[in-house]
Chain A
Amino acid sequence: MASIDTPAPSAHSDSGQRNILARLWYNKEARGVFLQILTVAILFSFIAYITSNAIANLELLGKTFSFDFLNVPANYDIGQTLIEYDSKSTHLRAGIVGMLNTLLIAVCGIITATALGFILGVLRLSPNWLVSKMVYCFIEYMRNVPVLLHILLLHASVVHLLPKPREAQEWANIADSIFFTNRGVFSPMPLPQDGFGWVTGAFVAAVAGVFIFSRWAKARQDATGQHLPVFWISLAALFGLPLLAYLLTGAPLDWDTPALKGFNFRGGFVIRPEFLALWLALSLYTSAFIAEIVRAGIMAIGRGQWEASLAVGISRGRTLNLVIIPQAMRVIVPPLTSQFLNLTKNSSLAIAIGYMDVVATVGGITLMQTGKEMETMMIVIGFYLTVSLLISSVMNWYNNRIKIVER
C-alpha cells in the first residue's frame, strides 16, 4: 500500500543542493511512473529476448511459424467423435473433434458432479450418524487421492471387472438391450421415423408451457399465498405431453439394438470405457469437493433460519429447498465456480487413458506428426483460456443474479 511521502522537495529548498533526479525519486507520483516504466521495459525486453531466441532456434531447426498444417490430412483415427471424422480429415477437424470431446466430458462431468456433490453435502449433514460417517469416509478418500490415480484405477476396473462382450450377452445386461462390457456400455439407439417431429414439437410446447405456468404460479403465490405443486405438474407435462404425442402418432421411433457380431457388439449407442472411466472419476472426485463446499455453505446459514422455518410449519425438506439452499447459494457459488474450472482442466488427464480430448489430439498426435510445438500449444492454451473465461463469466453472471439485493 501507499508509502508515506517524504516532505515535498520545495520544503527543503533552503538546504538546497539536491539534484533534480533525487527530487523526482522522493516524489511519490514520479517514482510510481518511473517504477512502472522500468517494469514494463524489463518485461518487454524479456519478451523480446525469448522471442529472438525462439526465432533463432526455429531457424536452426529449419522450422517456420505458420498454421498451414491445419489443412493437411491428419492420418489418425479417433475412437469417439461427435461430428463426422475419419483419418483423411484435416488436423483442423481433428482439433475440433478433440475440443468437442473436452467440452462433452466437461459438461457431463459438471452436471453429475454438481448433482452428486449437493446430495453428498446434504447427506453429510444428515442427522443419521451412519450415513453422515459413510459420506465422510467417501469424501475424504476421494479428496485425498490424486485424480489421475482415480482415473487409472477406474479405467483398470472398467476394463478388468466388466465382462467380455460374449459373457455380457449372457449375464451383464439389462433386458437384453443394454450391455455392460469391457469394450464399453452398449444401449439401443433411437432412430426417429416420419412423424417424430410431432413428438419433438410436443416437447417444445411442454417446455414453453411449463415456463409460462411456473411464472403464473409464482405470481399467483405472491398475490394469494396459495402454493401449487409446480414441480410435479411440470414433470408430468414435460414427460406426459411428448409421450402422448408419441403414442398418438403411432410410436414413430425405431430402436437400433446392439447385437453381438464376432468379438464385439455392433450398432446401438456406445459409451466407451475411456469416457466412462474419465466421467466417473472426474464426477466423483469433484463431487467430493463440491460436497464440502455445500456443507460449508449450509452451515454458514444461521440456526435461526432453520428454527424459524420449522416453527411456521414448513417441513425439513422444503425448509432446505426454499429457505436454506437459496441463502447458502451465495456462499456456495464462488468456490463452486473454481471447482467447475478444475474439473474442466482436469479433463486434460484424458490423455493418460487414451480418451481423445484436445490435449490428446492437437497437443498430442498432431504435435508429434507435424512437429509444430509452438502452434499446437498455442491452440491448446488458447482453447483452455477461452473455456475458463467462459465458465467464470457465466458463473459470475449467475452469482450476480442470486446475490442479496441491497437497497
Chain B
Amino acid sequence: MSDATTTQSYAPGTHPDMPPPLLSSGVIYWVRKNLLSSWTNAVLTIVAFWGLWVILPPFYEWAFADAVFTAVDRSECQSLGDGACWAFIDERFKIFMYGFYPEPERWRVVLAFLLLFVALGPLLFDNFPYRGKAMLFSMAYPFIAAWLLLGGFGLTPVGTDEFAGMLLNVIIGVTGIAFSLPIGIVLALGRASQLPAVRIICITFIEFIRGVPLITLLFLASTMLSYFLPPGTSFDLLMRVLIMVTLFASGYMAEVIRGGLQAIPRGQYEAADSLGLKYWLSMRLVVLPQALKISIPGIVNTFIGLFKDTTLVIIIGLLDMLGMGRASLADANWAGLATEVYISIAIFFFLFCFAMSRYSLYLEKKLETGHQ
C-alpha cells in the first residue's frame, strides 16, 4: 500500500484490485485448506500419500512398465517381461465379446447392439426427435433383436448355445429389464390395490423374489422348471434363465415403481377420479406417466444391479463374459493369468456400470430441480 501512495495516486474507487494475500489463494491456500487444515487432517494426508506410494508404483510397473502386450504364449510373455501379460487378453478379446457366435455373422450382433441405443433414445430423452414414432420402434426392438440374433427368415440361424461372452450378459440384462418393466408395473399396482386378495398375492410374490438369492432361482430354472411343464415339453436353458431373470427383476422393479407411485400426491388420484376416469384409464393417463418418470433413476439402478448379476449364470454353466474368462484360464499355453483376465473383465464392467450410474445421477439431479 505504501508503494502505491508514494509513487502514484488514484481517485477514490479507481485503485486496481490488489492480488489476494498469498495464504488465501493459489496452490498454497488450496493445500492448506484441503490437506492440512488440522492435525488429524495432516495425519490423514500423510497416511493417504503413503497408501498411494505403496499401491500405485508397483501397480504401474506391473500393468504398464513391465507388461507385455504382444506375445504368442505365456512363456514368451515371461521371457519379455515380468509384469502383466496383456497379450492373452488381446488374443481372446473377440471371444470374450461375441462368444461362439459364428464369425461371418458377427455384424448382426453389432447391428443389434447399435439398434439398442436407437431404441433406448426415445425412452431416455424427452426431447428425442419424433419421439412418438420412435417409441413404436422401441416397442418392436426386442423382436427385431431376437430376429437378428437368432436368425431365420432369410438370415442364417444361430443356436442359443452359441451365445456367450459379453453378448450373453447384454441379452440377459436387457431382456430382463425390458420384460420386467410391464410385470413390475402390474405388481406395483397390485400391491397398492384396494382388493385384499390381489394385494396379498402381489406382496407374497414380491417378497418371495426379494427374499431368495438369484442363484437359487437360477438353480430352479436349470433343475426344476421342466417339472412344472406338461410332461414331454422342454425348452432350452437360455430361455429358462431368461424367464427366471425376468421374474427376479420384476420383483425389484415392482418396488422401484411402488416408490414412484407413493411419491404421486393423492390429489392426482382424486383429480383423475373426479374426472370420471375408470381405474385403468386414470392409471394410464394420469398416475403412471408421472410415477414412471420419477422412477427412471431407480429403474436404471435396477438395471445396473441386474447387469452385474448376469454374471451369476456361470454357476449353472452358461458362459457369459466372466465364464469365458474363467474357461480361458484352463488354456495350457496361457497358464496362470487369472489376475489379468479378471482385471480386464472388471474394467469392462466398471466402464459400463459407471457410465450408467452417472446417467442415473444426472437424471436424479434433473428431476430434483423439476420438483422443487
- Given A127-B34, A130-B35, A152-B342, verify A144-B349 contact (CB < 8 Å): yes
Give A54 to B231 CA distance when docked, in angstroms: 8
Contact of A385 among B212, B226, B227, B274 (CB under 8 A): B212
Q: How far is A89 from B212 in the complex, measured between Cα atoms in Å?
A: 27
Q: Is B154 an interface position by the 8 A CB rule?
A: no
Q: Are A160 and B345 in contact (CB under 8 A)?
A: no
Contact check, B227 vs A149: say whether CB atoms are below 8 A apart. Answer: no
In this assembly, does A153 line the interface, its C-beta being within 8 Å of a C-beta of chain B? yes
Question: Could you tell me the distance between the alpha carbons of A385 and B315 in the complex, rounded to whole angstroms?
Answer: 21
Q: Convert A370-384 into 0s and 1s, putting 1 for each residue whose CB lies closer than 8 angstroms to a CB of B.
A: 000110010011001
Q: Which of A47-63 contact B (CB under 8 A)?
A: 50, 53-54, 56-58, 60
Indicate whether A3 sits within 8 Å of B201 (C-beta atoms), given known contacts A128-B48, A130-B48, A374-B227.
no
The chain B residue with its CB closest to the CB of A32 is B195
**B278 interface hit (Cβ, 8 Å):** yes
* Distance from A362 Cβ to chain B, minimum over Cβ atoms (Å): 10
Instruction: Say if the beta carbon of A177 comes within 8 Å of chain B.
Output: no
| A160 near B339: Cβ-Cβ < 8 Å | yes
Q: Is the CB of A148 within 8 A of B227?
A: no
Interface of B is mostly: helix
Given the known inter-chain contacts A148-B311, A148-B322, A352-B314, please indicate yes or no for A377 contacting B216, CB distance below 8 A: yes
Q: Is B282 an interface residue (CB 8 A)?
A: yes
Is the CB–CB distance between B197 and A4 below 8 Å?
Answer: no
* A57 and B227 contacting across the interface, CB-CB below 8 Å: yes
Q: Which residues of A in the span 25-41 have a Cβ within 8 Å of any Cβ on B?
A: 32, 35-37, 39-40
The answer to whether the Cβ of B240 comes within 8 Å of any Cβ in the partner chain is no
In the assembled complex, the CB of A162 is this many whole angstroms from the nearest CB of chain B, namely 13
- Which of chain A's residues has its CB closest to B275's CB? A4
Total interface residues on A, CB under 8 Å, equals 59
Does residue A90 face the partner (Cβ distance < 8 Å to B)?
no
How far is A341 from B339 in the complex, measured between Cα atoms in Å?
A: 29
- Known contacts A149-B311, A152-B322; is-contact A4 B277 (Cβ 8 Å): yes
Residue of B41, B229, B322 near A127 (CB, 8 A) is: B41
Cα separation A388 to B251 with both chains bound (whole Å):
15
Interface centre among A56, A147, A352 (most CB of B within 10 A): A352
> Of B34, B208, B211, which contacts A128 at CB under 8 A?
B34
- Asked if residues A53 and B41 are in contact (CB atoms below 8 Å), the reply is no
Tell me, yes or no, whether B279 is within 8 Å of chain A by CB. yes
Return B358 CB to nearest CB of chain A, in Å. 10
- For A61, the closest partner residue in chain B by CB is B227
Q: Is the CB of A4 within 8 A of B273?
A: yes
Mostly, the A contact residues are: helix
B274 touches A351 (CB 8 A): no
Does A349 reach chain B (CB closer than 8 Å)?
yes
User: How far does the alpha carbon of A149 sit from the alpha carbon of B213 in the complex, in Å?
Assistant: 17
Instruction: Say whether B215 contacts A144, CB under 8 Å.
Output: no
Chain B contacts for A35, CB-based, 8 A: 195, 198
Among B195, B287, B304, find the residue whose CB has the most chain A CB atoms closer than 10 A. Answer: B195
0/1 string, B312-351, CB within 8 A of A gives 1: 1011000000100010000000001011001101100110
Q: Mark B178-208, 1 if CB is under 8 A from A, else 0.
A: 0000000000000010111110010000001
B223 near A: Cβ within 8 Å?
yes
B215 / chain A contacts, CB cutoff of 8 Å? 348-349, 351, 359
Distance between Cα atoms of A153 and B342 in the complex (Å) = 6
Kindly state the separation between the CA atoms of A19 and B287 in the bound complex, as whole angstroms. Answer: 34
Provided the pairs A56-B231, A352-B315 are in contact, do residues A384 and B213 lie with their beta carbons within 8 angstroms?
A: yes
Residues 72-101 of chain B: 1 if any A CB is under 8 Å from the residue's CB, otherwise 0?
A: 000000000000000000000000000000
Of the A-B pairs whose beta carbons lie under 8 Å apart in the complex, a sample of 10, sorted by A's number, is A39-B198, A60-B231, A144-B350, A144-B353, A153-B342, A156-B339, A341-B210, A349-B312, A349-B315, A385-B212
13 A-B pairs besides A144-B308, A144-B354, A388-B210 with CB distance below 8 A are A4-B273, A35-B195, A36-B197, A53-B229, A57-B228, A58-B227, A128-B34, A128-B41, A140-B350, A140-B354, A146-B311, A345-B213, A348-B213
Residues of B within 8 A of A (CB): 34-35, 37, 41, 44-45, 48-49, 51-52, 192, 194-198, 201, 208, 210-216, 219-220, 223-224, 226-231, 269, 272-274, 276-279, 282, 287, 304, 308-309, 311-312, 314-315, 322, 326, 336, 338-339, 342-343, 345-346, 349-350, 352-354, 357
| Nearest 10 interchain pairs by C-beta | A129-B34, A144-B353, A36-B197, A156-B338, A345-B213, A3-B279, A146-B308, A348-B213, A50-B228, A388-B211
